[in-house]
Amino acid sequence: MKGHLTKSILIGYIQNNLNERRSAAVRDHLEACDLCRKNFTVLKNITAPSGGKKIKPRRSVLAGVLDYYDNYTRPAEPAPAPRRPRLRYAAIALGAACACVIIFALHSQLQYENAPLYASRVKGTVRADNGILRKGQVVRPGVLLTTGEDSKLAIMYGKVMKLTAGPHSRISITKSHIDRKSGKIHFEMVIDSGSVFARTGKGWKLQYTLVTPHGKVSSTGSRIAMRVEPSKTRVMVKDGTANIASNKGHSLDTEEGNGYSIPTRE
Amino acid sequence: MLSKDQISGIYRQFSPELYRYLYKLTRNTDASEDLLQEVFEKFIAYTAEKEIQADKHRAFLYKTAHNLSINYLIKQNRDHCGDINEMEESLKTEDTCLDRLMLDDLNRALYRVLETLDPESRSIFIMHKEDGMHYDEIAETLSLSARTVRRRIKNVLDILYSELKKDGFLT
Protein backbone atom coordinates (compact mmCIF):
# COMPACT_ATOMS: atom_id res chain seq x y z
CA MET A 1 0.00 0.00 0.00
CA LYS A 2 1.46 3.33 -1.07
CA GLY A 3 1.27 6.55 0.95
CA HIS A 4 -0.69 6.72 4.19
CA LEU A 5 -4.06 5.37 5.28
CA THR A 6 -6.93 7.78 4.72
CA LYS A 7 -9.61 8.69 7.23
CA SER A 8 -12.25 6.53 5.55
CA ILE A 9 -9.95 3.49 5.40
CA LEU A 10 -9.04 3.82 9.09
CA ILE A 11 -12.66 4.25 10.13
CA GLY A 12 -13.68 1.36 7.89
CA TYR A 13 -10.99 -0.78 9.48
CA ILE A 14 -12.10 0.17 13.02
CA GLN A 15 -15.70 -0.65 12.12
CA ASN A 16 -14.75 -3.96 10.42
CA ASN A 17 -16.22 -2.64 7.20
CA LEU A 18 -13.36 -3.69 4.91
CA ASN A 19 -13.12 -6.95 3.06
CA GLU A 20 -10.56 -9.54 4.14
CA ARG A 21 -7.96 -8.69 1.51
CA ARG A 22 -8.12 -5.01 2.26
CA SER A 23 -8.07 -5.57 6.02
CA ALA A 24 -4.90 -7.65 5.65
CA ALA A 25 -3.29 -4.87 3.61
CA VAL A 26 -4.20 -2.28 6.27
CA ARG A 27 -2.82 -4.56 9.02
CA ASP A 28 0.47 -4.93 7.13
CA HIS A 29 0.67 -1.20 6.53
CA LEU A 30 0.04 -0.42 10.22
CA GLU A 31 2.92 -2.67 11.20
CA ALA A 32 5.25 -0.83 8.85
CA CYS A 33 4.10 2.81 9.16
CA ASP A 34 4.61 4.68 12.45
CA LEU A 35 2.44 7.64 11.47
CA CYS A 36 -0.60 5.55 10.51
CA ARG A 37 -0.14 3.36 13.57
CA LYS A 38 -0.25 6.48 15.75
CA ASN A 39 -3.44 7.68 14.05
CA PHE A 40 -4.94 4.22 14.39
CA THR A 41 -4.11 4.17 18.14
CA VAL A 42 -5.79 7.54 18.66
CA LEU A 43 -8.86 6.37 16.76
CA LYS A 44 -8.93 3.13 18.74
CA ASN A 45 -8.76 5.17 21.97
CA ILE A 46 -11.68 7.28 20.81
CA THR A 47 -13.91 4.22 20.65
CA ALA A 48 -12.55 2.64 23.85
CA PRO A 49 -14.09 3.43 27.25
CA SER A 50 -12.59 6.55 28.84
CA GLY A 51 -11.64 4.69 32.01
CA GLY A 52 -10.63 6.86 34.94
CA LYS A 53 -12.11 6.76 38.40
CA LYS A 54 -15.17 4.56 38.85
CA ILE A 55 -18.25 6.65 39.24
CA LYS A 56 -21.50 5.57 40.78
CA PRO A 57 -24.69 7.29 41.83
CA ARG A 58 -25.19 8.29 45.44
CA ARG A 59 -27.32 6.17 47.74
CA SER A 60 -29.97 8.84 47.80
CA VAL A 61 -30.93 7.84 44.23
CA LEU A 62 -31.84 4.29 45.29
CA ALA A 63 -33.65 5.72 48.32
CA GLY A 64 -35.60 7.99 45.96
CA VAL A 65 -36.47 5.06 43.65
CA LEU A 66 -37.66 2.86 46.53
CA ASP A 67 -39.56 5.75 47.97
CA TYR A 68 -41.30 6.18 44.61
CA TYR A 69 -42.05 2.43 44.64
CA ASP A 70 -43.61 2.66 48.12
CA ASN A 71 -45.79 5.58 47.14
CA TYR A 72 -46.66 4.33 43.67
CA THR A 73 -50.33 3.74 43.17
CA ARG A 74 -51.80 2.42 39.97
CA PRO A 75 -54.07 4.85 38.19
CA ALA A 76 -57.52 3.98 39.47
CA GLU A 77 -60.06 2.80 36.95
CA PRO A 78 -63.08 5.10 36.83
CA ALA A 79 -65.93 3.72 38.92
CA PRO A 80 -69.23 3.30 37.11
CA ALA A 81 -71.49 6.25 37.76
CA PRO A 82 -74.40 5.41 40.05
CA ARG A 83 -77.79 5.53 38.39
CA ARG A 84 -79.97 8.39 39.43
CA PRO A 85 -83.52 9.34 38.56
CA ARG A 86 -83.64 11.49 35.43
CA LEU A 87 -85.54 14.29 37.07
CA ARG A 88 -82.59 15.05 39.31
CA TYR A 89 -80.41 15.99 36.35
CA ALA A 90 -82.33 19.18 35.68
CA ALA A 91 -82.02 20.26 39.32
CA ILE A 92 -78.30 19.46 39.38
CA ALA A 93 -77.68 21.32 36.13
CA LEU A 94 -79.58 24.34 37.40
CA GLY A 95 -77.68 24.28 40.69
CA ALA A 96 -74.33 23.95 38.90
CA ALA A 97 -75.18 26.86 36.59
CA CYS A 98 -76.11 29.06 39.56
CA ALA A 99 -72.94 28.04 41.39
CA CYS A 100 -70.86 28.91 38.31
CA VAL A 101 -72.44 32.35 38.04
CA ILE A 102 -71.86 33.04 41.74
CA ILE A 103 -68.25 31.77 41.63
CA PHE A 104 -67.53 33.80 38.50
CA ALA A 105 -69.01 36.93 40.07
CA LEU A 106 -67.00 36.43 43.25
CA HIS A 107 -63.87 35.51 41.38
CA SER A 108 -63.92 38.61 39.22
CA GLN A 109 -64.25 40.69 42.36
CA LEU A 110 -61.25 39.13 44.05
CA GLN A 111 -58.13 41.17 43.86
CA TYR A 112 -55.61 38.36 43.95
CA GLU A 113 -55.15 35.38 41.76
CA ASN A 114 -53.04 32.43 42.82
CA ALA A 115 -49.61 32.06 41.25
CA PRO A 116 -48.80 28.51 42.31
CA LEU A 117 -45.18 27.43 42.31
CA TYR A 118 -44.38 23.87 41.33
CA ALA A 119 -41.43 21.63 42.06
CA SER A 120 -39.40 21.58 38.86
CA ARG A 121 -36.58 19.56 40.33
CA VAL A 122 -36.44 17.29 43.35
CA LYS A 123 -33.25 15.49 44.15
CA GLY A 124 -33.12 13.08 47.06
CA THR A 125 -35.82 13.28 49.68
CA VAL A 126 -37.55 16.61 50.08
CA ARG A 127 -40.43 16.91 52.52
CA ALA A 128 -43.50 19.04 51.99
CA ASP A 129 -44.99 19.29 55.49
CA ASN A 130 -45.09 15.61 56.53
CA GLY A 131 -45.24 14.09 53.04
CA ILE A 132 -42.64 13.58 50.34
CA LEU A 133 -42.47 16.24 47.65
CA ARG A 134 -42.62 14.93 44.10
CA LYS A 135 -41.33 16.53 40.93
CA GLY A 136 -44.13 18.46 39.24
CA GLN A 137 -46.12 18.82 42.46
CA VAL A 138 -47.71 22.20 43.12
CA VAL A 139 -46.47 23.99 46.22
CA ARG A 140 -49.03 26.36 47.69
CA PRO A 141 -48.56 28.98 50.38
CA GLY A 142 -48.43 27.52 53.87
CA VAL A 143 -46.41 24.44 52.95
CA LEU A 144 -43.11 23.89 54.76
CA LEU A 145 -40.42 22.46 52.48
CA THR A 146 -37.44 20.69 54.05
CA THR A 147 -34.45 19.34 52.18
CA GLY A 148 -32.28 16.59 53.65
CA GLU A 149 -28.55 15.99 53.72
CA ASP A 150 -28.05 15.12 50.06
CA SER A 151 -31.17 16.63 48.65
CA LYS A 152 -31.83 19.63 46.50
CA LEU A 153 -34.95 21.35 45.28
CA ALA A 154 -36.05 23.81 42.62
CA ILE A 155 -39.45 25.42 42.61
CA MET A 156 -40.62 27.76 39.91
CA TYR A 157 -43.50 29.76 38.58
CA GLY A 158 -43.34 29.57 34.79
CA LYS A 159 -40.47 31.65 33.51
CA VAL A 160 -41.12 34.29 36.13
CA MET A 161 -39.35 32.94 39.18
CA LYS A 162 -37.15 30.03 40.11
CA LEU A 163 -35.87 29.26 43.57
CA THR A 164 -33.26 26.58 44.12
CA ALA A 165 -32.54 25.28 47.60
CA GLY A 166 -29.51 23.31 48.72
CA PRO A 167 -29.23 20.66 51.45
CA HIS A 168 -30.55 21.30 54.98
CA SER A 169 -32.89 24.07 53.88
CA ARG A 170 -36.23 24.91 55.47
CA ILE A 171 -38.47 27.07 53.33
CA SER A 172 -42.07 28.03 53.74
CA ILE A 173 -43.94 29.95 51.11
CA THR A 174 -46.12 32.62 52.62
CA LYS A 175 -47.24 34.46 49.52
CA SER A 176 -47.48 33.60 45.82
CA HIS A 177 -50.14 35.56 43.99
CA ILE A 178 -50.85 38.03 41.21
CA ASP A 179 -52.43 41.37 41.99
CA ARG A 180 -55.19 41.63 39.42
CA LYS A 181 -55.30 45.41 39.54
CA SER A 182 -51.62 46.18 39.14
CA GLY A 183 -50.68 42.95 37.36
CA LYS A 184 -47.76 42.56 39.76
CA ILE A 185 -46.69 39.11 40.89
CA HIS A 186 -45.79 38.77 44.58
CA PHE A 187 -43.79 36.04 46.23
CA GLU A 188 -42.73 35.82 49.84
CA MET A 189 -40.82 32.97 51.38
CA VAL A 190 -39.45 32.36 54.83
CA ILE A 191 -36.03 30.72 54.82
CA ASP A 192 -35.22 29.33 58.26
CA SER A 193 -31.96 27.65 57.29
CA GLY A 194 -29.89 26.45 54.34
CA SER A 195 -28.91 28.01 51.01
CA VAL A 196 -31.16 29.34 48.31
CA PHE A 197 -30.75 30.92 44.90
CA ALA A 198 -33.53 33.06 43.54
CA ARG A 199 -33.67 33.86 39.85
CA THR A 200 -36.28 35.82 37.96
CA GLY A 201 -37.24 36.14 34.34
CA LYS A 202 -36.93 39.43 32.50
CA GLY A 203 -39.80 41.74 31.69
CA TRP A 204 -42.16 40.77 34.52
CA LYS A 205 -43.74 43.03 37.10
CA LEU A 206 -42.53 41.19 40.13
CA GLN A 207 -41.80 41.67 43.80
CA TYR A 208 -40.28 38.94 45.90
CA THR A 209 -39.18 38.85 49.50
CA LEU A 210 -37.00 36.32 51.25
CA VAL A 211 -37.46 36.46 55.00
CA THR A 212 -34.83 34.96 57.30
CA PRO A 213 -34.49 34.87 61.10
CA HIS A 214 -32.18 37.90 60.85
CA GLY A 215 -34.06 40.13 58.44
CA LYS A 216 -35.45 40.19 54.95
CA VAL A 217 -34.33 40.79 51.38
CA SER A 218 -36.71 42.25 48.82
CA SER A 219 -36.17 42.60 45.13
CA THR A 220 -38.03 43.29 41.95
CA GLY A 221 -35.89 41.23 39.65
CA SER A 222 -32.29 40.64 40.68
CA ARG A 223 -30.69 37.29 41.26
CA ILE A 224 -29.97 36.52 44.86
CA ALA A 225 -27.81 33.86 46.46
CA MET A 226 -28.45 33.49 50.16
CA ARG A 227 -27.12 31.32 52.94
CA VAL A 228 -28.86 31.33 56.29
CA GLU A 229 -26.55 30.48 59.18
CA PRO A 230 -27.45 30.43 62.88
CA SER A 231 -25.66 33.73 63.58
CA LYS A 232 -26.18 35.59 60.32
CA THR A 233 -27.62 35.60 56.81
CA ARG A 234 -25.20 36.02 53.94
CA VAL A 235 -26.57 37.56 50.76
CA MET A 236 -25.07 38.04 47.31
CA VAL A 237 -26.90 40.09 44.71
CA LYS A 238 -26.38 39.85 40.96
CA ASP A 239 -28.02 41.70 38.08
CA GLY A 240 -29.85 44.56 39.71
CA THR A 241 -30.39 45.67 43.24
CA ALA A 242 -32.26 44.52 46.29
CA ASN A 243 -33.27 45.99 49.59
CA ILE A 244 -31.88 44.34 52.69
CA ALA A 245 -33.57 45.04 56.02
CA SER A 246 -32.49 43.68 59.37
CA ASN A 247 -34.80 42.87 62.27
CA LYS A 248 -33.31 45.87 64.10
CA GLY A 249 -34.92 48.17 61.58
CA HIS A 250 -31.82 49.03 59.53
CA SER A 251 -32.11 48.80 55.79
CA LEU A 252 -30.01 49.49 52.73
CA ASP A 253 -30.18 49.16 48.97
CA THR A 254 -27.57 46.77 47.70
CA GLU A 255 -25.05 47.38 44.97
CA GLU A 256 -24.80 44.87 42.22
CA GLY A 257 -22.27 42.09 42.68
CA ASN A 258 -21.63 42.81 46.34
CA GLY A 259 -21.96 40.42 49.27
CA TYR A 260 -23.74 41.36 52.50
CA SER A 261 -24.25 39.88 55.95
CA ILE A 262 -27.25 40.40 58.19
CA PRO A 263 -26.04 39.51 61.68
CA THR A 264 -28.25 38.72 64.67
CA ARG A 265 -26.86 41.67 66.59
CA GLU A 266 -25.77 44.91 65.02
CA MET B 1 -45.84 -5.72 39.59
CA LEU B 2 -42.25 -6.45 40.56
CA SER B 3 -41.46 -6.68 44.27
CA LYS B 4 -39.37 -4.09 46.08
CA ASP B 5 -36.47 -6.54 46.37
CA GLN B 6 -36.60 -7.21 42.63
CA ILE B 7 -36.51 -3.47 41.92
CA SER B 8 -33.52 -3.08 44.27
CA GLY B 9 -31.80 -6.00 42.57
CA ILE B 10 -32.38 -4.57 39.08
CA TYR B 11 -31.21 -1.17 40.30
CA ARG B 12 -28.00 -2.62 41.74
CA GLN B 13 -27.38 -4.61 38.56
CA PHE B 14 -27.88 -1.85 36.02
CA SER B 15 -27.48 1.48 37.79
CA PRO B 16 -23.63 1.67 37.56
CA GLU B 17 -23.53 1.30 33.77
CA LEU B 18 -26.62 3.46 33.23
CA TYR B 19 -25.19 6.16 35.46
CA ARG B 20 -21.87 6.05 33.61
CA TYR B 21 -23.74 6.36 30.31
CA LEU B 22 -25.85 9.27 31.60
CA TYR B 23 -22.83 11.01 33.09
CA LYS B 24 -20.77 10.72 29.90
CA LEU B 25 -23.74 12.05 27.98
CA THR B 26 -24.76 14.94 30.21
CA ARG B 27 -21.38 15.71 31.86
CA ASN B 28 -23.24 16.62 35.03
CA THR B 29 -23.51 14.43 38.15
CA ASP B 30 -26.70 15.99 39.44
CA ALA B 31 -28.50 15.72 36.13
CA SER B 32 -27.30 12.11 35.74
CA GLU B 33 -28.66 11.18 39.16
CA ASP B 34 -31.97 12.90 38.45
CA LEU B 35 -32.26 11.13 35.11
CA LEU B 36 -31.28 7.78 36.63
CA GLN B 37 -33.99 8.13 39.25
CA GLU B 38 -36.49 9.09 36.57
CA VAL B 39 -35.51 6.06 34.46
CA PHE B 40 -36.25 3.72 37.35
CA GLU B 41 -39.47 5.54 38.21
CA LYS B 42 -40.64 4.98 34.64
CA PHE B 43 -39.55 1.36 34.91
CA ILE B 44 -41.60 0.90 38.10
CA ALA B 45 -44.64 2.58 36.56
CA TYR B 46 -44.35 0.51 33.36
CA THR B 47 -43.83 -2.84 35.08
CA ALA B 48 -46.82 -2.14 37.32
CA GLU B 49 -48.98 -2.16 34.20
CA LYS B 50 -47.20 -4.56 31.88
CA GLU B 51 -44.73 -7.35 32.33
CA ILE B 52 -41.26 -7.02 30.85
CA GLN B 53 -39.23 -10.20 30.37
CA ALA B 54 -36.10 -10.29 32.50
CA ASP B 55 -33.81 -10.34 29.46
CA LYS B 56 -35.44 -7.13 28.18
CA HIS B 57 -34.91 -5.10 31.35
CA ARG B 58 -31.55 -3.71 30.24
CA ALA B 59 -32.88 -2.70 26.82
CA PHE B 60 -35.91 -1.00 28.38
CA LEU B 61 -33.75 0.92 30.85
CA TYR B 62 -31.31 2.02 28.16
CA LYS B 63 -34.04 3.12 25.81
CA THR B 64 -35.71 5.13 28.57
CA ALA B 65 -32.37 6.65 29.58
CA HIS B 66 -31.65 7.50 25.94
CA ASN B 67 -35.03 9.21 25.47
CA LEU B 68 -34.89 11.12 28.75
CA SER B 69 -31.33 12.30 28.21
CA ILE B 70 -32.09 13.47 24.68
CA ASN B 71 -34.97 15.53 26.05
CA TYR B 72 -32.66 16.86 28.74
CA LEU B 73 -29.92 17.80 26.26
CA ILE B 74 -32.35 19.50 23.89
CA LYS B 75 -33.77 21.45 26.83
CA GLN B 76 -30.28 22.37 27.99
CA ASN B 77 -29.39 23.71 24.55
CA ARG B 78 -32.55 25.79 24.55
CA ASP B 79 -32.24 27.02 28.10
CA HIS B 80 -29.08 29.06 28.48
CA CYS B 81 -28.91 30.23 32.04
CA GLY B 82 -25.19 30.15 32.66
CA ASP B 83 -24.91 32.58 35.53
CA ILE B 84 -27.47 31.08 37.81
CA ASN B 85 -26.10 27.63 37.09
CA GLU B 86 -22.67 28.87 38.09
CA MET B 87 -24.16 30.15 41.31
CA GLU B 88 -25.86 26.82 41.85
CA GLU B 89 -22.61 25.03 41.16
CA SER B 90 -21.04 26.83 44.10
CA LEU B 91 -23.26 24.73 46.36
CA LYS B 92 -21.61 21.58 45.24
CA THR B 93 -18.54 20.04 46.71
CA GLU B 94 -18.80 16.53 45.38
CA ASP B 95 -18.15 17.42 41.75
CA THR B 96 -14.60 18.58 42.20
CA CYS B 97 -13.23 15.06 42.65
CA LEU B 98 -15.15 13.81 39.62
CA ASP B 99 -13.44 16.41 37.50
CA ARG B 100 -10.27 14.35 37.75
CA LEU B 101 -12.01 11.76 35.61
CA MET B 102 -11.48 13.78 32.50
CA LEU B 103 -7.88 14.87 32.91
CA ASP B 104 -6.82 12.98 29.87
CA ASP B 105 -6.32 15.48 27.07
CA LEU B 106 -7.69 13.34 24.32
CA ASN B 107 -10.85 12.52 26.18
CA ARG B 108 -11.35 16.16 27.02
CA ALA B 109 -11.02 17.14 23.39
CA LEU B 110 -13.20 14.23 22.37
CA TYR B 111 -16.02 15.19 24.70
CA ARG B 112 -15.73 18.82 23.69
CA VAL B 113 -16.41 17.77 20.11
CA LEU B 114 -19.13 15.31 21.14
CA GLU B 115 -20.99 18.10 22.89
CA THR B 116 -21.42 19.85 19.57
CA LEU B 117 -23.12 16.85 17.97
CA ASP B 118 -26.82 16.15 17.92
CA PRO B 119 -28.01 14.42 21.13
CA GLU B 120 -29.14 11.21 19.44
CA SER B 121 -25.83 10.56 17.68
CA ARG B 122 -24.00 11.43 20.86
CA SER B 123 -26.09 8.98 22.86
CA ILE B 124 -25.55 6.18 20.32
CA PHE B 125 -21.81 6.82 20.23
CA ILE B 126 -21.51 6.79 24.03
CA MET B 127 -23.49 3.55 24.30
CA HIS B 128 -20.98 2.06 21.87
CA LYS B 129 -17.88 3.60 23.40
CA GLU B 130 -18.48 3.61 27.14
CA ASP B 131 -20.75 0.64 27.57
CA GLY B 132 -19.19 -1.46 24.84
CA MET B 133 -22.53 -2.13 23.19
CA HIS B 134 -22.31 -3.56 19.71
CA TYR B 135 -24.23 -2.11 16.78
CA ASP B 136 -26.82 -4.89 16.88
CA GLU B 137 -27.37 -4.40 20.59
CA ILE B 138 -27.83 -0.62 20.25
CA ALA B 139 -30.12 -1.17 17.27
CA GLU B 140 -32.29 -3.57 19.26
CA THR B 141 -32.37 -1.25 22.26
CA LEU B 142 -33.37 1.81 20.28
CA SER B 143 -35.52 0.01 17.69
CA LEU B 144 -33.28 1.09 14.83
CA SER B 145 -31.57 -0.95 12.15
CA ALA B 146 -27.98 -2.03 12.76
CA ARG B 147 -27.10 -0.32 9.48
CA THR B 148 -28.42 3.02 10.79
CA VAL B 149 -26.45 2.64 14.00
CA ARG B 150 -23.28 1.79 12.07
CA ARG B 151 -23.81 4.82 9.80
CA ARG B 152 -24.44 7.14 12.74
CA ILE B 153 -21.26 5.98 14.49
CA LYS B 154 -19.29 6.33 11.25
CA ASN B 155 -20.53 9.92 10.90
CA VAL B 156 -19.48 10.66 14.48
CA LEU B 157 -16.05 9.13 13.87
CA ASP B 158 -15.73 11.19 10.68
CA ILE B 159 -16.40 14.41 12.58
CA LEU B 160 -14.17 13.41 15.49
CA TYR B 161 -11.34 12.52 13.13
CA SER B 162 -11.50 15.90 11.40
CA GLU B 163 -11.83 17.89 14.62
CA LEU B 164 -9.09 16.01 16.47
CA LYS B 165 -6.84 16.44 13.47
CA LYS B 166 -7.33 20.20 13.77
CA ASP B 167 -6.35 19.94 17.45
CA GLY B 168 -3.19 18.03 16.53
CA PHE B 169 -4.13 14.66 18.01
CA LEU B 170 -4.00 13.09 14.56
CA THR B 171 -1.51 13.73 11.82
Domain ranges for chain B: 1-96, 104-171
Cβ–Cβ gap A152/B91 under 8 Å: yes
Structural domain boundaries, residue A41 = 7-47
In the stretch 131-160 of chain A, residues with CB closer than 8 A to chain B read: 152
What's the pLDDT tens digit per position in B8-18? 999 999 998 89
| pLDDT for the residue B36 | 93
Domain B104-171 has CATH 1.10.10.10: yes
At A204-223, the pLDDT tens digits run 788 889 999 888 888 887 78
Taking only the tens place, the pLDDT of each residue in A143-177 is: 899 988 878 888 888 777 888 888 888 998 888 88
**CATH value at residue A143:** 2.60.120.1440
Residue among A38, A69, A197 minimizing CB distance to B87? A197
What are A212's strand-pairing partners?
Answer: A215
**Architecture in CATH of B1-96:** Orthogonal Bundle (1.10)
Same domain, A169 and A247: yes
Q: What is the pLDDT of residues A6-30, one digit of tens each?
A: 888 988 898 888 888 999 999 999 9
Per the domain annotation, does A170 fall within a domain?
A: yes
- CA dihedral of A26, A28, A33, A34, whole degrees rounded to 10: 90
What total of structural domains would you count in chain A? 2
Any domain includes A90: no
Report the residue count for chain B: 171
Contact call for A15 and B100, based on CB within 8 A: no
pTM: 0.52
Evaluate whether residue A94 is within a structural domain.
no
| Shared domain check, A177 and A256 | yes
**A70–B4 CB contact, under 8 Å:** yes
Q: SS3 of A227, please?
A: strand
Report pLDDT for A4: 87
Residue B91: band (very low, low, confident or very high) from pLDDT cuts 50, 70, 90? very low
Question: How does pLDDT run across B97-135, given as a tens digit for each residue?
Answer: 333 333 356 777 788 888 888 888 889 998 888 888 889
Q: Are A205 and A182 in contact (CB under 8 A)?
A: yes
| A49 in reach of chain B (CB within 8 A) | yes
Separation of alpha carbons B154 and B101, rounded Å: 26
